[in-house]
């Protein structure tokens, strides 16, 4: 008898305990498909180390919009092009905020301020977003073209020189990285990397590499399961505190250099400088540090696009870009005109869009992004941030989806990977096809072409700049050289951006190195003369 009572009490206690520790930050959303999960961990195991691929598979069974439980967090996953448009664009004012995550927000950023891309919507975020938008609008970007001119010339010249004029196959990763790194450092702080052996750069490389792992949304179970946050268990906390301190040191250092240059009148135009000088911006120092946005996605797109261009299929694309350049600039001044002309060649614009849709649907916007670019300088390998699940959002108002009310305060994950490969929206989505963005295709012209830059009220603030960097790099590469596959098949790249990632749970992709062949075009020396003479 006693045994039965004690068994009953124990089971009842266990039942309520599991229910208690499995409760979620926001309640179950009635009527919205839910993926059944385990006590405590919820759906963490099902989503595994590739949330994008696994959510895409789950969407086949549960529909494009479903809810999951990640530890004690309830998340709504949105997986198709149309459903993303519904939430992110049609209801953009409702999805204007962002959630906070334990490791990043309470440990890593406590003294540096949240970056724009990780800030919930409030007055400070509004001010910073406005400042970034001013520093990154079309006219501002045109004023930075001198930097893009210099860095693209250096990268292309270096590629040709180090391939011994095309005699040996070459890994383009560090050249693309150097292009994007120096562009971003100069744009953000007016600071250029002089020596690759600099201690400051080594420190940034190391710290930012660790930070990128700490920030991953699928890597930190303590963000979802509160009990894992207990200090004596969590090495992550100690690590986050230590790296926050080290990061503070160099962020303050770079900002101090810039402030000194401004005081001396020796600064050159740069984004953080513009923000400091803009009386309208009224940002505190912590806010200024958090404005700096990084560009790790630019090299990711560049590297993978070069891999594609060098492939057998890419030959046709190179040919067309070359022909369009000759037709548009018959006087032989294409090299300088792609920088100075704001009107762009439609086929190359379509190519850039397709690269963004097809190759990398990712981003990680903050000062820390510069880390990836710096990493590339020091590494024979390429790194790029792969977050096919776009930066998360939190709703500030109810949104209705197919008759179901998704209440305000809900956290949303956009599966940009699934949406950009949605066969309901794109014909033949797994085929690389720039023509899909040219007339008579329905995707030409207005409307969101892809979700590489996110969408709606918190869409990427740096998209004009990124588009210009990619446009200049592609046109100039085709002007200076012809790309071909590496002679040795084992040197050739893996073209799938997810499959090539060695560490799927990390914020950054670390793909296997690959090589391409280069055939410099006649007259290339004149174009990149400065570099070759260096």
Min dist CB 25 to ligand HEM, Å, is: 20
293 part of the interface to ligand HEM, by CB under 6 A: yes
Across the strands, what pairs with 76?
67, 412
Across the strands, what pairs with 518?
483
Min dist CB 367 to ligand HEM, Å, is: 10
Instruction: For residues 461 and 133, give the distance between their C-alpha atoms in angstroms, rounded to a whole number.
Output: 6
- The residue among 35 and 370 lying less far from ligand HEM, judged by its C-beta, is 370
462 part of the interface to ligand HEM, by CB under 6 A: yes
99 part of the interface to ligand HEM, by CB under 6 A: no
Instruction: Determine which residue in the list 132, 170, 211, 500 makes contact with ligand HEM, applying CB under 6 A.
Output: 132
71 part of the interface to ligand HEM, by CB under 6 A: no
Instruction: Determine which residue in the list 75, 461, 473, 528 makes contact with ligand HEM, applying CB under 6 A.
Output: 461
Q: At what angle do helices 463-480 and 173-189 cross, to 10 degrees?
A: 140
The phi and psi torsions of 375 (rounded to 5 degrees) equal -55, -40
298 part of the interface to ligand HEM, by CB under 6 A: yes
Instruction: Answer for the pair 501, 509: CB distance below 8 angstroms, yes or no.
Output: yes
- The residue among 57 and 448 lying less far from ligand HEM, judged by its C-beta, is 448
Tell me whether the omega of the peptide bond preceding residue 271 falls within 30 degrees of 0, making it cis: no
Min dist CB 76 to ligand HEM, Å, is: 15
Instruction: Answer for the pair 75, 413: CB distance below 8 angstroms, yes or no.
Output: yes
460 labeled part of a ligand binding site: yes
Ramachandran region of residue 48, left (φ > 0), alpha (ψ -120 to 50) or beta?
Answer: left
Instruction: Determine which residue in the list 258, 339, 452, 477 makes contact with ligand HEM, applying CB under 6 A.
Output: 452
- The residue among 148 and 321 lying less far from ligand HEM, judged by its C-beta, is 148
Instruction: For residues 501 and 506, give the distance between their C-alpha atoms in angstroms, rounded to a whole number.
Output: 9
Region near ligand HEM per CB under 6 A, out of 76-84, 129-137, 439-447, 488-496: 129-137
Instruction: Answer for the pair 165, 177: CB distance below 8 angstroms, yes or no.
Output: no
Q: What angle do CA 224, 230, 234 make, to 5 degrees?
A: 85
Min dist CB 357 to ligand HEM, Å, is: 10
Min dist CB 116 to ligand HEM, Å, is: 4
Min dist CB 64 to ligand HEM, Å, is: 18
Min dist CB 466 to ligand HEM, Å, is: 4
Instruction: For residues 273 and 268, give the distance between their C-alpha atoms in angstroms, rounded to a whole number.
Output: 8
Which pair of tokens denotes residue 244? 């926050």
Sheet order of strands, 411-414 included:
65-70, 73-78, 411-414, 393-394
Instruction: Determine which residue in the list 35, 68, 181, 455 makes contact with ligand HEM, applying CB under 6 A.
Output: 455
Which pair of tokens denotes residue 29? 């959303």
Q: What is the DSSP letter of 389?
A: B
Instruction: Determine which residue in the list 301, 410, 475, 506 makes contact with ligand HEM, applying CB under 6 A.
Output: 301
154 part of the interface to ligand HEM, by CB under 6 A: no
Q: At what angle do helices 145-162 and 463-480 cross, to 10 degrees?
A: 40
Instruction: Determine which residue in the list 44, 65, 108, 136 makes contact with ligand HEM, applying CB under 6 A.
Output: 136
Which pair of tokens denotes residue 525? 């020396």
Dihedral of alpha carbons 98, 103, 106, 108, sign: negative
- The residue among 163 and 467 lying less far from ligand HEM, judged by its C-beta, is 467
Region near ligand HEM per CB under 6 A, out of 227-235, 278-286, 338-346, 453-461: 453-461
Helix H or strand E encompassing 74: strand 73-78
129 part of the interface to ligand HEM, by CB under 6 A: yes
Q: Considering all CA atoms of the chain, what is the largest pairwise distance in Å, rounded to the nearest integer? A: 99
Distance of CA 448 to the CA centre of its chain: 17
297 part of the interface to ligand HEM, by CB under 6 A: yes
Region near ligand HEM per CB under 6 A, out of 211-219, 317-325, 403-411, 460-468: 460-468
Instruction: Determine which residue in the list 353, 363, 382, 492 makes contact with ligand HEM, applying CB under 6 A.
Output: 363
148 part of the interface to ligand HEM, by CB under 6 A: no
Of 371-390, binders to ligand HEM (CB under 6 A) are 390
Instruction: For residues 208 and 204, give the distance between their C-alpha atoms in angstroms, rounded to a whole number.
Output: 6
Region near ligand HEM per CB under 6 A, out of 52-60, 162-170, 194-202, 450-458: 450-458
List the binding residues: 460
List the binding residues for heme: 460
Q: Which residues bind ligand HEM (CB under 6 A)?
A: 116-117, 129, 132, 136, 293, 295, 297-298, 301, 363, 365, 390-391, 452-455, 458-462, 465-466
């Amino acid at each position: 008898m006693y045994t039965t009572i004690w068994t009953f009490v124990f089971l009842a206690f266990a039942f309520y305990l599991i229910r208690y520790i499995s409760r979620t930050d926001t309640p179950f959303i009635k009527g919205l498909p839910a993926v059944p999960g385990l006590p405590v961990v919820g759906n963490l195991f099902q989503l595994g180390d590739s949330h994008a691929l696994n959510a895409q598979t789950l969407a086949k069974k549960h529909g494009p919009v479903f809810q999951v439980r990640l530890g004690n967090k309830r998340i709504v996953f949105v997986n198709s092009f149309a459903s993303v448009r519904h939430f992110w664009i049609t209801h953009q004012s409702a999805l204007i905020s962002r959630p906070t995550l334990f490791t990043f927000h309470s440990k890593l950023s406590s003294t540096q301020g949240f970056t724009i891309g990780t800030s919930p919507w409030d007055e400070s975020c509004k001010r910073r977003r406005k400042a970034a938008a001013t520093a990154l609008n079309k006219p501002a970007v045109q004023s930075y073209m001198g930097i893009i001119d210099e860095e693209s010339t250096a990268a292309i010249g270096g590629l040709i020189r180090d391939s011994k004029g095309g005699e040996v196959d070459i890994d383009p990763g560090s050249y693309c990285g150097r292009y994007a790194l120096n562009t971003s450092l100069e744009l953000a702080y007016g600071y250029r990397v002089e020596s690759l052996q600099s201690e400051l750069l080594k420190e940034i490389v190391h710290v930012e590499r660790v930070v990128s792992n700490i920030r991953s949304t699928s890597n930190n179970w303590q963000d979802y399961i509160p009990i894992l946050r207990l200090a004596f268990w969590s090495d992550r906390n100690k690590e986050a505190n230590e790296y926050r301190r080290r990061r503070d040191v160099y962020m303050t250092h770079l900002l101090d250099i810039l402030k000194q240059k401004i005081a001396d009148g020796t600064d050159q135009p740069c984004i953080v400088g513009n923000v400091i000088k803009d009386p309208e911006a009224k940002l505190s120092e912590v806010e200024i540090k958090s404005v700096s946005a990084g560009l790790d996605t630019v090299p990711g797109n560049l590297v993978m696009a070069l891999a594609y261009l060098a492939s057998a299929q890419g030959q046709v694309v190179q040919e067309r870009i070359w022909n369009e350049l000759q037709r548009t600039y018959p006087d032989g001044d294409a090299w300088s005109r792609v920088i100075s002309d704001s009107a762009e060649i439609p086929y190359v614009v379509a190519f850039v869009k397709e690269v963004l849709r097809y190759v990398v649907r990712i981003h990680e916007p903050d000062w820390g992004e510069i880390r990836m670019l710096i990493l590339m300088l020091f590494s024979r390998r390429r790194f790029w941030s792969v977050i096919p699940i776009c930066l998360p959002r939190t709703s500030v108002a109810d949104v209705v989806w197919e008759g179901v009310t998704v209440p305000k305060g809900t956290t949303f994950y956009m599966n940009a990977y699934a949406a950009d490969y949605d066969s309901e929206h794109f014909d033949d989505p797994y085929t690389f096809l720039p023509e899909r963005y040219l007339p008579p295709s329905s995707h030409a012209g207005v409307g969101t072409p892809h979700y590489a830059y996110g969408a709606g009220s918190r869409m990427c603030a740096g998209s004009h700049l990124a588009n210009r960097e990619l446009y200049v790099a592609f046109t100039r590469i085709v002007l200076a050289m012809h790309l071909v596959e590496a002679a040795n098949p084992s040197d050739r790249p893996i073209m799938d951006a997810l499959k090539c990632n060695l560490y799927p749970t990390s914020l950054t992709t670390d793909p296997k190195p690959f090589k391409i062949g280069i055939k410099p075009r006649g007259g290339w020396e004149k174009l990149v003369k400065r570099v070759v003479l260096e």
